[in-house]
Structure 1
Amino acid sequence: MADENISKDLVDAAFKKKESEEEQKVKEEEKATVGDIITFQKDGQQFEAVVTSVNLQNSVVCDMTIMDDFHERNLDFEKTVVAHTNYSIKKRRDV
């Protein structure tokens, strides 16, 4: 009886974990594509960037030099990687 309860608890925990992972995934139509402008927060700052690569499974590579104040921010890099769950699309690229 105790073994059945442990097995049931393990199965329940596995299903809950799987459901949680599914909820965190971003739908394909909500993912940014090359040329889209996205916004995201990093280290307490708001950033804007243009997507330059979408070849990664869970994130995009983007170029932050489109921000008017890019040089004043003294950032170490022009590009960064942002997970799909951590950005919002500000503007889709012009087709």
Structure 2
Amino acid sequence: MSDENLTGGLLDAAFSRKEKEEKDQVAEEEKATEGDIIAFKKGKQELEGLVVSAKLDNSVVVDMTIMENFEKLNLDYERTVVGHGKYTVKQRGTLPQEEE
């Protein structure tokens, strides 16, 4: 393989990856904010939670104790981190937004 073909292949791969990353990004208006209730999957379980922190770049921190069946689910934790694009906003919150 010539250097020209190798360089071209590497450039094509880099641009393809960048295009995929840009396509996978979630629009700001679609991201959950503090106080929102979201639905998401962990393994095979359908879960819901209250967003308690949206300060991370790629995800939100969710409190799952709002679910009526939380105790029955026997989850090992009350909170979890969910990546943007891995949840749907069920209800927008009414908590005041913090100034940055």
TM-score in terms of structure 1 length: 0.93
Partner of 1:94: 94
How many angstroms does 1:43 deviate by? 1.5
Deviation at 1:74, TM superposition (A): 1.3
Q: Which moved more, 1:6-15 or 1:42-51?
A: 6-15
* Residue 42 of structure 2: aligned partner: 42
Partner Cα separation in structure 1 for residue 43 and residue 12 of structure 2: 36
Alignment gaps of 5+ in structure 2 = 96-100
SS in 1 for 2:40: strand
- Report what 1:54 is aligned to: 54
Number of equivalenced pairs:
95
**Aligned-residue CA RMSD (Å):** 1.4
The aligned counterpart of 1:78 is: 78
Point out where structure 1 has 5 or more consecutive residues left out of the alignment: none
CA distance in 1, matches of 2:46, 2:67: 11
Distance 2:61 2:13 in 1: 34
Q: Percent identity?
A: 55
State the 1:29 CA deviation. 0.8
Q: What one-letter code is carried by the residue in structure 2 that aligns with 1:94?
A: T
Q: Distance in 1 between matches of 2:40 and 2:34?
A: 16
